[in-house]
Structure 1
Amino acid sequence: MRSILAAALLLTMGTADVVAQSSATFNIQLDQSSGNISSHMWGVFFEDINMGADGGIYAELVKNRSFEFDNPWMGWNKLEQSVEGTFLIVNDAKRKGNPRALKVFKPTDVKLGLQNEGFRGMGVRKGESYEFSLLYKQLKPGLRLRIELLDEENKVLGESTLALGNGAGWQNAAVKFTSSQTSAKAKLNVWFEGAGEAELDMLSLFPTETWKNRPKGLRKDMVQILADMKPGFIRFPGGCIVEGRDLANRFQWKKTVGPIEERELIINRWNTEFKHRLTPDYFQTFGLGFYEYFLLSEDIGAEPVPILNCGMACQFNTGEVVPLDELDTYIQDALDLIEFANGDVHTAWGKLRAEMGHPAPFNLKMLGVGNENWGPQYIERLAAFKKVLKDKHPEIEIIASSGTDPEGERFSFLDERLRDMKIDIIDEHYYRPPSWFLSGAARYDNYERNGSKIFAGEYASHTTRPNGPGRSTWEAALSEAAFLTGLERNADVVRMASYAPLFGHVDGWQWSPDLIWVDNLNVYGTPSYQVQKLYSLNKGTTIIPLKRNGQNATGQDSLYASSVYDETNKELIIKFINYNSTAVVADFKIDSKRKISGAATKITLANADLNIANSIEEPLQIKPRDEKVNYKGKSVKDTFAPYSFTVIKLPVK
């Protein structure tokens, strides 16, 4: 025991020596604000990648519910050997957006059933209610359906019977039942009983407990983890799916609104993009369409930031372009989206919004034209959009792409041209290693203060790629935290920022790292999520100058810092990153005529192991630790742990 105590004492003394030697003084000019911070500074970027929508936040549990996949039987298995003609896929071109249906013919002496495997299985919970529904058209009355929910070992978890009523034309039917157990990989059986003939479509299974309990809505735990961040905006729908592999595969917002059963499914462009992660069952049903997106933004208090195709497909794929004299349709799509979001209920698109359940406008303020497009062909098409949009909707700010990279010939060309065009907001993207983020904390210190503002629309620190679930490391997150001090310090130039991608499904991802990981039952935030959340919840309203030896704290001695004032809560907020393997003593001296309370809140993310990551099994290895501390006078002097990100909030009177 004595030897253990002695060793502990030596270790403590050694740490104290390091702390004493590693110290830094910072000066904060609280009364000299250097600019305002946008109320929507920190947001999120949603793209349907990594099964983010279908199989993810859109709570539908049945895969290929309308038989519209390229292979109409994908996701379905026939449970019994049936005679020829028992099951037929009928293609009726008169049915808008959803021409296929399943025709079932059942004589009395045939045992007949189908099984749906779900999206990597179906996640169901003990005691929760589920609703099976479908569209049907009677041809010969007499069919009834027996619905079974089974676990991985084929144990029945819940069941119910649904009789198909008489009547002409297409009808709706639904039945609810409760699951007796929790299963991450459940499946659905649909047995056909009695005798008869009918066409069936939109065979669907949803939990009744969705976000805000909206029927056939969003997965509540995935929305909640977003709401917990209080993001200032949601960028949607991408990302590369805006462009598509070719223009036929681009995201077209008009096909994502109106009745669900009339929305036209398309293949997701991430279906075949990565040869190492082929996902042949990845399609977009658009159950999460533009109406649901606007609702989600409103629900969590975020500004909608839609991005539309500019008449160019992905330049890494086909690079198709629309001739300039045929661009009017694309521009009209932008005008009509503004009308759908903001228009009076007497306008065509405003009327549709009202019919869908939201007569009040969504108050759209920004619109992106193009995603990661580049070259003179982009500038030509952007100019055509800008001319019409600014003439008809000068209140809408235009966001334009600066390409795929944060430097180089493409970036320089676009940055110059976009500024000459007086584009409102320039969208910069950077997927780079931690070293780039650490060295880039001063990136915006010398940007032009007037003119175009900056949107850091997609960024992530990559340690290795592809690395899969659980490898969104603390090293990556801490380097991002350091870089974000530079965005915060320059919030008069950088209006918005969002990490990308947002979601990854552990059994269905194509790209990593991602901010939030899910399986069919669980959701957790990565270390990067914890960093983003701390910035978003502590964004402040004005920039407060913070200097070390007269210079911005951009990595000298691997220390990074920024400070803001929150007018609403009357708090000075200091953010500090110690990117050293040893503890550091830092002293923040506050110059102000106002009274600073010593009773502060200190929030810390820290771990000496940069390779650590959160996971489904251990979702909170990196999590914030809150404590109340007391500082003396106008000096915040404290010891900061190795490899740590700290937020200190001081009341100001």
Structure 2
Amino acid sequence: MPRTRWRLGLTIGALLAGTVTAVPTAATGAPAHPAADATDYTLSVDPSAKGPAIDDTMYGVFYEDINRAADGGLYAELVQNRSFEYDPADHSSYTPLTAWTGAAAGGGTGEAKVVDDDGRLNERNRRYLRLTLDGTGGSAARYGVTNSGYTTGMAIKAGERYDFSVWARTDQASGTPLTIGLGDGSGSDTLARPLRATVRGDRWTKYTGTLTATTSSSAGRLTVAAGGSGTLRLDMVSLFPRDTYKHRPNGLRKDLAEKIAALKPGFLRFPGGCLVNTGSHEAYEAPNWPRKRSYQWKDTVGPVEQRAVNSNFWGYNQSYGIGYYEYFQFAEDIGAMALPVVPALVTGCGQNKATDDPALLKRHIQDTLDLVEFANGPVTSTWGKKRAQMGHPKPFGLTHLEVGNEENLPDEFFARFTEFRKAIESEYPDITVISNSGPDDSGQTFDRAWALNRAAGVDMVDEHYYNSPQWFLENNQRYDTYDRSGPKVFLGEYASQDNKWHNALTEAAFMTGLERNADVVKLASYAPLLAHEKATQWRPDMIWFNNSASWGSTSYETQKLFMNNVGDRVVPSKASATPAPSEPISGAVGLSTWATSAAYDDVKVTAADGSTLLSDDFSGDDAKWTKATGTGSWTVQDGAYVQSDAAAENTMVTAGDPAWRDYDLKVKATKKSGKEGFLIAFGVKDTGNYYWWNLGGWGNTRSAVEKAVGGAKQTMAEDGTKIETGRSYDARVEVRGRQVTLYLDGKKWGGFTDDKVAEPFRQVVTRDKATGELIVKVVNAQSTAARTRIDLGGRKVARTARLTTLQGAPEAVNTESEQPVKPVRSRLDGVANTFTYTFPADSVTFMRIKTKG
């Protein structure tokens, strides 16, 4: 299609008003929508006000080994279970030979067995493969093992080189011949010319070589086979693409690292997440070492063959091939500030246990001091020398360090955090020590943690939350009222609950509020960062991949646009707003359970005028109820409605009219067995849109009212109520307009008013000092275009601006084969001090407008 120039048209009315309508100058630009399809807005920039400066580290990335983000992901190693250390502790299906199968050629026979004895490679790499060779067949006979790589196989590209290595020893005086080959799993096809080597001597020796692929495959297999007879021992069987990121040995997968680098992150937070503070805090001690340990940095440095493996909180094995040294190096390579997180000896992520061992606390504090020395110490220091031996004599320049992650025991956490902070600031006063506020955006833990942090004058507090798209649209002003003189905010983990374009739009709307409050919110990172499409524990995620390819989600495109166009200072601006919702909460009622068996009785719904809308004492059948989700086992038993499946999740049944409003819901509930308590629903529109009172939720650790919109939830009220098994509870929910009040056993439990605006039109304006441009950032998260009168406050500006637009259908999802949401760049003519532009429906638009003078 030929390029088309859109011409500027001025009406007499526009000239008299001093405004113009700006239009794109390329066919790829988004044209103004017809008037009937647009909603009118105003956007004004204050010429006299001065907004906060924005730090270079405002946006960064959070890396955690979840969704196979490390082994099988960013870590470029192609061999799975290379050191034969897999164990059922990592995953119930694992054995020491997971991903390995026997391989024979030319009539060779033998036995492959993983052993742990005095012949091991070292004390921290205890298991190895022992091949007992029968010596059958002729000189071409071989017996050995084949590794299938991760998930679907090794991604092999024709013409690329792959570096092989193995530690081996043999009891044969004349040596044992090895053949190393790449196949595609068919048994006969080869992907590269085989390597040949001879293992000599009965001491562990490292053997290396390079395979050059002649054929491409996404199902590659590596075979290591030996000839002759006797016993051959193998360990640390490895295959790396030569073309790693920055061509580093033991390096990172290039396409994933490049996508992260393209974000231009200001910081890299690592290694987690739940990895940091879950599991045992004990150190590795052979031979009876704790398999499920919290992530401890000293396990992850030094030669890879001497790093102790660990069980990953997310249900698989961690080789620690990518460890603290590699994280620091990667941060340096992409120009990001390194921000490590260490355990505070209070477990989180549902475990909620505090370790009361003074010696263990002292050891972890010393480990943290040693970490700073590893990062910043001179080569003459103990840990600075270790860093230099690994290849980096120059200090990494660590400035920030976080202690703890999402602890749900705020007092216990803060007591230990205080000890860490005191020790770190005493020895390294220039290090910023970061605390946290628990696992959610509000509630008792959040409030208590913030009170403790504020009272102690902590420099920075890490907040985490994963919420519904609705929440992100309703909370753009979250940080407007934060104390400007209190601790700064590190928004270390946040995301909307899916990967559709609408989710990214709502995140973008929220980010305008982060930038507007850049004097309070100093660091922010979306999470999680990486997800293998065949091994995912969590969704949403920013970058998706398989063994051969990677692609950015719609949220990746949004994050990249913001991170590449931050600016240096906020320029205060205002936009017209949407009125607060006035229609009353309406909907049917429901009962549900989550991994719990419960009995409900005496359900009664009464209108505000006292009339009865529903009454059911279950003396008959359950004809008034509809099984909304199709899960669970609901039956009427002994005059109660019982859900008896203690494993089923979200077993909702509903009754009544979706048009009901202004009513009281009363119900009697008894927990029979299981992990949690009761779910009492109201305002039910359908299975994705409702409110429910979650009593004894989250493993019976707390209670809350949650609002679901489109299946994604947000918390409306919360406390620490726990539910006792066998006890009968009387619950009442009173709905009046948009006000909800809840009573438990006759006492007021809590309440809320659901009157926040889910504002679809959000903006922030920043200045780029280097280019002299205003960056006008506008999010239009609605199905109609936003015709907007933009007033730049008397500034003289160039008539042409640079425009970048992200736009798509709300349900659009980026995949390997299709990226419906990607940046469209164009030029915008007709820019003036006051002009009109129509922002497309469901879009994020960045205007870079050059100022004069």
Aligned residue in 1 for 2:834:
635
**Structure 1 residues 205-216: aligned runs within 5 Å:** 205-216=239-250
Shift, 1:357, TM fit: 0.7
The superposition leaves residues 300-321 of structure 1 with CA deviations (integer Å, 9 ceiling, x where unpaired) of 0010110000112235136252
1:162–1:174 Cα contact (<8 Å) kept: no
Q: Which of these residues, 447, 464, 469, is aligned with residue 434 of structure 1?
A: 469
Please name the residue that 1:599 is paired with.
800
Query: Secondary structure of the residue that 1:353 maps to in structure 2?
Result: helix
* 2:471/2:758 contact within 8 Å kept: no
Match of 1:265 among 295, 309, 329: 309
In structure 1, stretches of 5+ residues that fail to align are 1-11, 272-281, 464-471
Which AA in structure 1 matches 2:96?
A: P
One-letter identity of the residue aligned with 1:129: R
Amino acid at match of 2:442: E
| 2:35 is the counterpart of 1:17 | yes
Aligned: 1:508 with 2:525 = no
1:133 corresponds in structure 2 to 165
Q: Deviation at 1:33?
A: 2.3
Match of 1:521 in 2: 548
Matched, 1:565 2:767: yes
Rounded to whole Å, the distance in 2 between the matches of 1:525 and 1:151 is 28
Of 69, 89, 101, the residue aligned with 1:77 is 101
Contact 2:109 2:136 in 1 (8 A): no
Question: Is 1:616 the counterpart of 2:816 in the alignment?
Answer: yes
1:116-131 alignment, distance < 5 Å: 116-120=147-151, 121-131=153-163
2:479 pairs with 1:453? no
1:164 aligned counterpart, secondary structure:
strand
- For structure 2, the 5+ residue unaligned runs are 1-29, 88-94, 282-289, 581-755
Query: Does 2:320 match 1:286?
Result: yes
Normalising by structure 2, report the TM-score.
Answer: 0.70
Specify whether residues 404 and 550 from structure 1 end up closer, same or farther in structure 2 by C-alpha distance, changes over 3 A only: closer
The residue matched to 1:335 in structure 2 has which SS? helix
Distance in 2, Cα, partners of 1:528 & 1:61: 28
Alignment of 1:206-605 (within 5 A): 206-247=240-281, 248=290, 249-271=293-315, 282-314=316-348, 316-317=350-351, 319-324=353-358, 326-374=360-408, 375-463=410-498, 472-548=499-575, 558-592=760-794, 595-605=796-806
Give deviations 1:81-100, integer Å, cap 9, x for gaps: 98776645243378131122
Which residue identity is paired with 1:34?
G
Instruction: Deviation per CA, 1:278-326: give whole Å up to 9, x if none.
Output: xxxx211111100000000000001011000011223513625243454
1:279 is matched with: none
TM superposition score normalised by structure 1: 0.91
Cα deviation 1:478-525 (Å, max 9, x = unaligned): 000001110010011000111111100011111111111000010000
Matches of 1:101 and 1:323, distance apart in 2: 35
Task: Find the aligned partners of 1:194 and 1:625 in 2 and give their Cα distance.
Answer: 63
Tell me, in whole angstroms, the C-alpha distance in 1 between the residues paired with 2:579 and 2:844. Answer: 17
User: Structure 1 residues 187-196 or 554-563, which shifts more?
Assistant: 554-563
Alpha-carbon distance in structure 2 between the residues aligned to 1:555 and 1:305: 35
CA 1:196–1:94 in structure 2 vs 1: closer, same or farther (change >3 Å)?
Answer: closer
* Partner amino acid, structure 1, of 2:335: G
Aligned counterpart, 1:158: 192
User: Identity over the aligned pairs, expressed in percent?
Assistant: 38
Query: Which entry has the higher C-alpha Rg, 1 or 2?
Result: 2
Moved more, 223-232 or 309-318: 309-318
String of CA shifts for 1:168-194, please: whole Å, max 9, x gaps. 632211121222222222211222123
Task: Describe the shift of the 1:551–1:419 C-alpha distance in structure 2 as closer, same or farther (beyond 3 A).
Answer: farther
Query: Contact 1:422/1:451 (CA < 8 Å) preserved in 2?
Result: yes
On the 8 A contact 1:481/1:577 being kept in 2, the answer is yes
Distance across 1 between alignment mates of 2:112 and 2:558? 56
Matched to 2:771, the amino acid is: N
Cα RMSD (Å): 2.4
Contact 2:182 2:194 in 1 (8 A): no
The SS at the match of 1:184 is strand
Structure 1 residues 377 and 208: alpha-carbon distance in aligned structure 2, compared to 1, 3 A threshold: same
Q: Given that residues 96 and 114 in structure 2 are in contact (C-alpha distance below 8 angstroms), is that contact kept between their aligned partners in structure 1?
A: no
Deviation at 1:551, TM superposition (A): 12
**Contact 1:146–1:159 under 8 Å retained in 2:** no
Per-residue Cα deviation, 1:411-438 (whole angstroms, up to 9, x for no partner): 1111111111111111011101100000
Q: Secondary structure at the match of 2:339?
A: strand
Q: Which has the higher contact order (CA 8 A, sep 6+)?
A: 1
Q: 2:39 touches 2:787 (CA, 8 Å); kept in 1?
A: yes
Q: What one-letter code is carried by the residue in structure 1 that aligns with 2:302?
A: G
Aligned equivalent of 2:631 = none
Distance 1:103 1:269, change over 3 A: same
The residue type paired with residue 641 of structure 1 is P
Query: Could you say what secondary structure the match of 1:33 adopts?
Result: coil
Q: Tell me if the contact between 1:343 and 1:349 (Cα under 8 Å) persists in the aligned partners.
A: yes
Q: Which residue of 2 aligns with 1:6?
A: none
Deviation sequence 1:208-244 (CA, Å, 0-9, x none): 1111111231100000001111011111000000012
Alpha-carbon separation, structure 2, partners of 1:219 and 1:337: 26
Give a deviation string over 1:60-118, Cα, whole Å, max 9, x none. Answer: 11111111111221111112498776645243378131122222232431641211111
Contact 2:97–2:114 (Cα < 8 Å) also in 1: no
2:194 is paired with a residue of what secondary structure?
Answer: strand
Does the 8 Å CA contact 2:575/2:762 hold for their aligned counterparts?
A: no
Return the match for 1:36 from 53, 57, 64. 53
Shift of 1:132: 1.5
Instruction: Please give the secondary structure, in 2, of the residue aligned with 1:430.
Output: strand
Aligned to 1:91, what secondary structure does the other structure show? coil
Structure 1's 573 and 166: CA in aligned 2 closer, same or farther, altered over 3 A? same
**Distance across 2 between alignment mates of 1:523 and 1:13:** 32
Q: CA deviation at 1:652?
A: 2.4
Match of 2:741 in 1: none
CA contact (8 A) 1:312 1:322 kept: no
Q: Would you say the 8 A contact 1:142–1:195 is kept in 2?
A: no
> Match for 1:89 among 111, 115, 118?
115
Q: Does the 8 Å CA contact 2:473/2:758 hold for their aligned counterparts? A: no
Hey, what's the Cα distance between the residues in 1 that align with 2:209 and 2:571?
A: 58
Per-residue deviation, 1:567: 1.2
Describe the SS at the equivalent of 2:341. Answer: strand
Distance 2:342 2:578 in 1: 41
Instruction: Work out whether residues 121 and 128 of structure 2, in 8 Å CA contact, stay in contact via their aligned partners in 1.
Output: no
Pick one of 8, 27, 44 that aligns with 2:44.
Answer: 27
In the alignment, the residues of structure 1 paired with residue 225 and residue 238 of structure 2 have an alpha-carbon distance, to the nearest angstrom, of: 14
Alpha-carbon distance change, 94 to 116 in structure 1, aligned in 2, over 3 angstroms: closer
Tell me the number of residue pairs that the alignment of Structure 1 and Structure 2 aligns.
620
| Paired residues of 1:565 and 1:573 also in contact (CA < 8 A) | yes
Q: Would the alpha carbon gap of residues 254 and 165 (structure 1) be closer, same or farther in structure 2, given more than 3 Å must change?
A: same
Comparing 340-349 and 557-566, the one that deviates more:
557-566
Instruction: Rate the CA distance shift 1:646–1:13 in 2: closer, same or farther, 3 A.
Output: closer
Distance 2:432 2:354 in 1: 27
Q: Distance between the aligned counterparts of 1:590 and 1:456, measured in 2?
A: 31
| Gap change, CA 1:535 and 1:125, over 3 Å in 2 | same
User: Counterparts of 1:459 and 1:13 in 2: how far apart (Å)?
Assistant: 33
1:39 and 1:429 map into 2 onto residues whose CA distance is 21
Structure 1 residues 522 and 552: alpha-carbon distance in aligned structure 2, compared to 1, 3 A threshold: farther
What secondary structure does 1:200 align onto?
strand
User: Does the CA-based 8 Å contact 2:578-2:759 persist in structure 1?
Assistant: no
